[in-house]
C-alpha cells in the first residue's frame, strides 16, 4: 500500500519555514543528505549536465524534501542503487510526454497520476516555475528548471519508497490539486 500523502498546506508551511531560516535546519539537512548517500551521489552525477547555479540549488532542494519526510515523522531508510535506477528509468519514461518546457509544462507534470507525494512535487513546481525571483537571485532558464524538477521527482519517489510512517500517521489518502499563490519576491 502506498504511503499517505503529506498534506499540501503542511508541505507549504514547512517549505516556507525552511526557506525563511535555513540555518535552523542546516544540521538536519546535512545529516539527511549524508544518510541518503546513494541518492545524493545520483544527484551529484546528474548535476554535471547542469549550469553551476542549478546544481547547488538541486542538492539543497533534495535536502529540503528529505527534511519534509523527517518532519512528518516515522523512519527514513537509506535508498538502494536499484531503487534509484528503477525510479530514474520510470521518471525518464515520462519526459517525452512532459516536454517541451513551455507554459503547459507544470500542468502536464501535475497530471502524472502515479507521482508519490504529489503535494511535495507541486511545491517544487511552484517554487521553480511560478514564484517570482527575489532581487539578486538568479532566475534559471526553463530547461534548467525542468532538469531540477526531474531530479526532485526521482528523489521524492525514492524517499517515499524508503519512508515508513509513524504509527497513527494519517495524511491524505487521495490527491487533489490545491492551488496556493506563490509569495511575491
Query: What digits encode the pLDDT tens for the residues 16-73?
Result: 999 999 999 999 999 999 999 999 999 989 977 888 778 778 989 999 999 999 999 9
Residue 156 lies in a domain: yes
Residue 107 lies in a domain: yes
Residue 29 lies in a domain: yes
Residue 142 lies in a domain: yes
Range of the structural domain that residue 131 is part of: 8-164
| CA–CA separation, 184 and 176 (whole Å) | 24
Residue 174 lies in a domain: no
- pTM of this prediction? 0.95
Residue 147 lies in a domain: yes
User: What's the pLDDT tens digit per position in 59-112?
Assistant: 899 999 999 999 999 999 999 999 999 999 999 999 999 999 999 999 999 999
| CA–CA separation, 110 and 29 (whole Å) | 26
% of the chain exceeding 70 in pLDDT: 98
Amino acid at each position: 500500500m502506498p504511503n499517505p500523502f503529506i498534506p499540501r498546506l503542511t508541505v507549504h508551511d514547512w517549505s516556507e519555514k525552511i526557506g525563511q531560516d535555513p540555518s535552523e535546519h542546516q544540521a538536519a539537512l546535512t545529516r539527511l543528505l549524508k544518510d541518503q548517500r546513494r541518492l545524493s551521489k545520483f544527484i551529484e552525477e546528474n548535476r554535471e549536465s547542469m549550469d553551476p547555479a542549478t546544481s547547488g540549488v538541486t542538492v539543497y532542494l533534495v535536502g529540503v524534501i528529505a527534511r519534509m519526510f523527517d518532519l512528518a515523522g516515522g523512519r527514513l531508510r537509506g535508498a538502494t542503487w536499484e531503487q534509484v535506477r528503477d525510479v530514474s528509468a520510470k521518471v525518464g519514461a515520462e519526459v517525452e510526454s512532459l516536454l517541451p518546457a513551455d507554459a503547459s509544462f507544470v500542468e502536464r507534470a501535475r497530471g502524472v497520476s502515479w507521482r508519490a507525494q504529489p503535494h511535495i512535487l507541486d511545491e517544487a513546481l511552484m517554487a521553480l516555475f511560478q514564484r517570482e525571483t527575489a532581487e539578486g537571485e538568479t532566475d534559471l532558464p526553463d530547461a534548467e528548471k525542468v532538469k531540477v524538477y526531474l531530479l526532485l521527482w526521482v528523489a521524492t519517489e525514492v524517499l517515499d519508497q524508503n519512508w515508513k510512517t509513524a504509527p497513527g500517521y494519517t495524511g491524505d489518502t487521495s490527491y487533489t490539486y490545491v492551488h496556493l499563490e506563490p509569495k511575491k519576491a
